[in-house]
């Protein structure tokens, strides 16, 4: 991922320095296991542990000649260790190191993402509780439906990010496997106990069955959790963008001191951060398809997945970390305009009371079809000519034949829509 959209902590996980450090940790752990099993002399193990090191530039220099990154790494390490290096990588294949290290990197990145989600959940919870009883218009198809509250909107996203957190945790658990089982996974040249010892030391579980590689359904699962989380961020950013439109302006993303919205129009305050969230989320979601394609490999392995993973896994996790941090900033500094929300609610002359009126007429004896036709006729008059659904109802003999003036007045009260909001929050676990 380009520097513009990268934060240092998670970007460092995908650095060559960190990758080679993990490779070296695995190789040394395997040497320790082999020494424990009597395969490697203790004096050679001592030399390996004392001298083993690497230099990124030197590895790249060797790789330019041998065109194999693991061989280049091992050659570089051998230059530090000397003759005892013959025991490094004993009985292993490249993917034993690469895949086990990749699991650790994905686990490290996942933990950062979990922490980001936790921070975002706290912000959403605060907004939900603060605006629990702040009325705003609910919409379906983009058209006014019935009132809800702004806090209720935030509860929706709070719960969706709870699910994102669970998906991410499950994905970390799914990828936290290592393998040191040799060229096709049959332990032909390595004691199976080495895998058990090394994985335990690294905090991983031995993959129950592998070929030369850990199977890529695990990686696809991980990427799906990342992509779905990005999808929720896009959804939330789109909600804010819609509510920031000039005709609506119920909320507005932060506009910082000194910020300029347009090179041509000084008045502009554009939702650029939310648009960035939506844009980068598309990159992450598209990368999921690559991860799904990576599942299909020839026989015990090919490396068609390898080049793609070098792009999609770092880019997607770094981008998601960046987007989560941006959304935290947006929500912590979000401008919220309750007065504008009320003006929006009042904009259609009470059309949103139509269902309440319909149900009351049904209670009073009309069939549903009869009541629907009466209410719709009055509603269409308001749509076409303005006015108030309540006033038209008070002057419609078909309605007043069934409902008194006081009963009609009672129907047209905003609180009728919000009296169960406390229950909604309780049901969602927020009180």
Residues acting as catalytic residues: 141, 262
The angle that helices 217-244 and 94-130 make with each other, rounded to 10 degrees, is: 30
| C-alpha to C-alpha distance for 35 and 201, rounded to whole angstroms | 15
| C-alpha to C-alpha distance for 82 and 218, rounded to whole angstroms | 37
Q: How far is CA 426 from the centre of its chain?
A: 25
CB atoms within 10 A of CB 115: 13
* 365 phi and psi angles, rounded to 5 deg: 125, -15
CB atoms within 10 A of CB 191: 17
Considering Cα of 21, then 23, then 26, then 28, what sign does the dihedral take? negative
Q: Of 386, 364, 361, 382, whose CA–CA distance to 372 is shortest? A: 361
| C-alpha to C-alpha distance for 282 and 271, rounded to whole angstroms | 17
Q: Of 258, 259, 319, whose CA–CA distance to 283 is shortest? A: 319
Instruction: Please check whether residue 354 is in contact with residue 390, taking contact to mean a CB–CB distance below 8 angstroms.
Output: no
CB atoms within 10 A of CB 182: 22
- Kindly compute the dihedral angle of the four CA atoms of residues 54, 55, 57, 63, in this order, to the nearest 10 degrees: -10
Joined together, the tokens standing for residue 420 give 């169960």
Instruction: Let me know how many helices (H) and strands (E) the chain has, helices first.
Output: 19, 6
Instruction: Please check whether residue 295 is in contact with residue 220, taking contact to mean a CB–CB distance below 8 angstroms.
Output: yes
Q: How far is CA 106 from the centre of its chain?
A: 15
**177-178/135-140 β-pairing:** unpaired
Q: Of 150, 240, 178, 219, whose CA–CA distance to 425 is shortest? A: 150
Burial of 158 (0-12, 13-18, 19+ CB in 10 A): buried
| C-alpha to C-alpha distance for 160 and 178, rounded to whole angstroms | 31
Contacts of 55 (CB under 8 A, 6+ apart): 76
């Amino acid at each position: 991922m380009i520097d513009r959209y990268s934060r240092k902590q998670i970007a460092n996980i995908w650095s060559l320095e960190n990758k080679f450090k993990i490779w070296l940790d695995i190789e040394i752990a395997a040497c320790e296991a082999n020494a424990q099993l009597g395969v490697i002399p203790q004096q050679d193990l001592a030399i390996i542990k004392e001298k083993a090191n690497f230099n990124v530039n030197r590895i790249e220099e060797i790789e330019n000649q041998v065109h194999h990154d693991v061989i280049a790494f091992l050659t570089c390490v051998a230059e530090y260790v000397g003759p005892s290096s013959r025991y490094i990588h004993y009985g292993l294949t490249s993917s034993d190191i690469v895949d086990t290290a990749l699991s650790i990197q994905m686990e490290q990145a996942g933990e950062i993402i979990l922490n980001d989600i936790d921070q975002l959940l706290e912000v959403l919870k605060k907004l939900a509780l603060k605006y629990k009883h702040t009325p705003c218009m609910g919409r379906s198809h983009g058209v006014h439906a019935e009132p809800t509250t702004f806090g209720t909107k935030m509860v929706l996203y709070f719960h969706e990010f709870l699910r994102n957190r669970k998906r991410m945790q499950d994905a970390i658990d799914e990828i936290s496997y290592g393998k040191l089982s040799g060229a096709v996974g049959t332990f032909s040249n390595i004691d199976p106990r080495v895998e058990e010892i090394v994985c335990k030391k690294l905090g991983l579980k031995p993959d129950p069955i592998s070929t030369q590689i850990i199977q890529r359904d695990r990686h696809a699962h991980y990427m799906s959790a990342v992509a779905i989380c990005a999808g929720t961020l896009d959804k939330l950013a789109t909600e804010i963008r819609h509510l920031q439109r000039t005709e609506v302006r119920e909320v507005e993303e932060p506009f910082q001191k000194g910020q300029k919205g347009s090179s041509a129009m000084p008045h502009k305050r554009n939702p650029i951060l939310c648009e960035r969230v939506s844009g980068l989320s598309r990159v992450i979601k598209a990368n999921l398809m690559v991860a799904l394609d990576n599942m299909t490999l020839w026989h015990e392995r090919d490396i068609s997945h390898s080049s793609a993973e070098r792009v999609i896994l770092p880019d997607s996790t770094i981008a998601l970390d960046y987007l989560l941090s941006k959304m935290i900033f947006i929500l912590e500094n979000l401008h919220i305009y309750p007065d504008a929300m009320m003006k929006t609610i009042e904009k259609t002359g009470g059309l949103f009371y139509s269902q309440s009126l319909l149900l009351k007429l049904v209670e009073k004896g009309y069939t549903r079809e009869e009541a629907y036709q009466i209410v719709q006729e009055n509603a269409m008059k308001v749509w076409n000519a303005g006015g108030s659904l309540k006033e038209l109802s008070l002057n419609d003999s078909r309605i007043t034949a069934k409902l008194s003036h006081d009963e009609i007045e009672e129907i047209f009260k905003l609180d009728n829509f919000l009296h169960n909001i406390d229950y909604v929050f309780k049901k969602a676990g927020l009180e």
